[in-house]
Structure 1
Amino acid sequence: MDEPFDPARVTQALEHLPGWSGDVSGLTRTYTFDGFSDAIAFMAAAAPRIDEMDHHPEWTNVYDRVEVRLSSHDVSGVSGRDVRLAEVLDELAGDAAR
């Protein structure tokens, strides 16, 4: 099990996650795509990796946006699992997201 991050460690992690914000309770990011199809394609592409990691985000889709919130419920806050998933999501969104 990952250990919960303290505020300093969250700040350090966010320095390497452009577009993300948050605090010890969770990390958030809104991805904006060219349209609904691209937003849904991103979510569909992410689903197998998310299942593989067994760490599922809270996320919603409204037209061209996917809003993501990451938090490790087993530690009641941010952990290394959240940072790793944020990196995976950024990789999958690539240049398609703004």
Structure 2
Amino acid sequence: MKKLNNEEINRKLEDFDGWTYTKDAIHTSFQFDNFKDAFTVMTRIAFEAEALQHHPNWGNVYNELEISLSTHDAKGVTEKDFKLARAIEDIVESA
């Protein structure tokens, strides 16, 4: 998969509230009411990531979830990252 350039990434990020681009990855974070809600969303994201065969770098502390997406084979951000980011947004919105 082709690595996107900075202009392409920044243009695509216009469609994603709360996402930023640094260090060859796109990043966001979410805050939930409690750990159970955060973990439920993480589980749903995990199933979607597995279906897409593209997995996030993420961390969770209590009700906070931090996510970074990049395509390791391309050494940067690709369309795969934005496809997973869109799926993540849809999951979080429906939670």
Provide the TM-score with structure 1 as the length reference: 0.92
- Residue type of the alignment partner of 1:92: I
Long gaps (5+) in structure 2: none
- Structure 1 residues 95 and 52 mapped into 2: Cα distance closer, same or farther (>3 Å)? closer
SS at match of 2:73: coil
Q: Distance in 2 between matches of 1:23 and 1:60?
A: 17
Contact 1:29/1:67 (CA < 8 Å) preserved in 2?
yes
- For 2:88, the equivalent position in structure 1 comes to 89
Matches within 5 A, 1:1-98: 2-23=1-22, 25-94=24-93, 96=95
> Percent identity over the alignment?
31
Q: Distance in 2 between matches of 1:29 and 1:38?
A: 17
RMSD of Structure 2 on Structure 1 (CA): 1.2
Long gaps (5+) in structure 1: none
Provide the TM-score with structure 2 as the length reference: 0.95
Q: Distance in 2 between matches of 1:46 and 1:95?
A: 12
Q: Which ranges of 4 or more aligned residues in structure 1 deviate by more than 2 Å?
A: none
Q: Distance in 2 between matches of 1:85 and 1:24?
A: 18
